[in-house]
């Protein structure tokens, strides 16, 4: 069978999920491509037709699909359209995020035919405390493209939509995780929480560097930064995606959390991307 259209549906504050999704879409070789980027606003009521392939890519925060991403996708719907679900995490763990995304899009009417977990630079990553810095890199994107090619082959091999079988994403192979660094991380997290050290709720701003250009306000997915008041962040809205930190032209923003130190120290070994289809 043939699929004539692919829709890239993505929530990607720091562009890691978007990059992976674009590479997958490119690998499918489908020429008719439409993009639904709900990073800054809800996708709205939108139907994905059964003849279109949906590639859905979202980031993982704290082992879960970003809650704002799910909120903004809730009005999407499909009548059995095939979907590829992809979660992008910061080299620690995606925990149950892929299963969450699978269950969510299935309820929207999609038929999940493939899934993947990719590594992207962690939101907390910085020059001082790098966590999967620079990922997805060229190898990740090449693998994403290959994944797209495999999806194309799977679709082509099916006689019709009913024969295009779904997948059980719980059977995806987990990336290798060295035991002792993980144990060290867990122990230090417990110690940190018992210490009572306050965790920053929002990024800090260097008022002398800030030029009030409004770039952070424009690119904050949660609307936590107001134009002309860029030195403040609304804590109740901030999702700690650090898009403002990574995109600030003046390097005026920083998110100095103790967890960045732990993540950088305990998860130096780069994890592998995984796919299932």
Record the tokens describing residue 6, joined without a space. Answer: 């692919």
Give Cα separations from 120 to 25, 45, 57, 58, 68 (angstroms): 18, 29, 12, 11, 18
Fold category of 5-176+270-276 in CATH: Rossmann fold (3.40.50)
The HSE-up count of residue 197 (CA atoms within 13 Å, CB side) is 12
Q: Kindly report the pTM of this predicted structure.
A: 0.93
Spatial CA neighbour of 17 closest among 75, 105, 101 = 101
Please write the tens of the pLDDT for every residue from 187-209: 999 998 888 888 889 999 999 99
- Say what the pLDDT of residue 187 is: 93
pLDDT at 197: 80
Length of the chain: 277
The CATH code that applies to domain 204-256 is 3.30.70.20
Residue 160: band (very low, low, confident or very high) from pLDDT cuts 50, 70, 90: confident
pLDDT tens digit sequence for 98-122: 999 999 999 999 999 999 999 999 9
- Asked if pLDDT for residue 12 goes beyond 90, the answer is yes
Confidence at residue 254, expressed as pLDDT on a 0 to 100 scale: 94
pLDDT at 4: 87
Domain map (residue ranges) of the chain: 5-176+270-276, 204-256
| Residue 218: per-residue pLDDT | 93
- Residue 43 or residue 130, greater confidence: 130
Tell me whether the CATH fold assigned to 5-176+270-276 matches the one assigned to 204-256: no
């Amino acid at each position: 069978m043939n699929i004539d259209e692919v829709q890239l549906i993505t929530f990607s504050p720091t562009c890691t999920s978007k990059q992976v999704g674009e590479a997958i879409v490119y690998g499918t070789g489908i020429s008719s491509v439409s993009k639904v980027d709900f990073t800054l606003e809800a996708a709205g009521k939108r139907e994905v037709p059964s003849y279109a392939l949906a590639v859905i890519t979202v980031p993982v925060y704290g082992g879960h699909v970003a809650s704002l991403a799910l909120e903004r996708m809730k009005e999407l719907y499909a009548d059995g359209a095939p979907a590829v679900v992809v979660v992008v995490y910061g080299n620690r763990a995606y925990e149950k995020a892929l299963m969450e995304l699978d269950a969510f899009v299935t309820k929207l009417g999609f038929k999940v035919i493939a899934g993947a977990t990719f590594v992207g630079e962690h939101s907390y990553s910085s020059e001082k405390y790098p966590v999967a810095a620079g990922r997805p890199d060229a190898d990740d994107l090449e693998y994403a493209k290959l994944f797209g090619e495999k999806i194309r082959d799977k679709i082509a091999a099916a006689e019709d939509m009913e024969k295009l079988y779904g997948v059980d994403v719980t059977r995806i192979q987990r990336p290798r995780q060295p035991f002792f660094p993980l144990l060290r991380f867990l122990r230090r997290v417990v110690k940190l929480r018992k210490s009572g050290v306050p965790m920053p709720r929002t990024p800090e701003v260097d008022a002398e560097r800030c030029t009030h250009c409004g770039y952070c306000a424009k690119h904050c997915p949660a609307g936590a930064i107001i134009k002309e008041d860029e030195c403040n962040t609304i804590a109740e809205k901030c999702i700690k995606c650090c898009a403002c930190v990574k995109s600030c032209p003046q390097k005026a923003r920083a998110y100095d959390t103790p967890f960045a130190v732990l993540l950088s120290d305990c998860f130096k070994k780069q994890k592998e991307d995984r796919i299932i289809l």
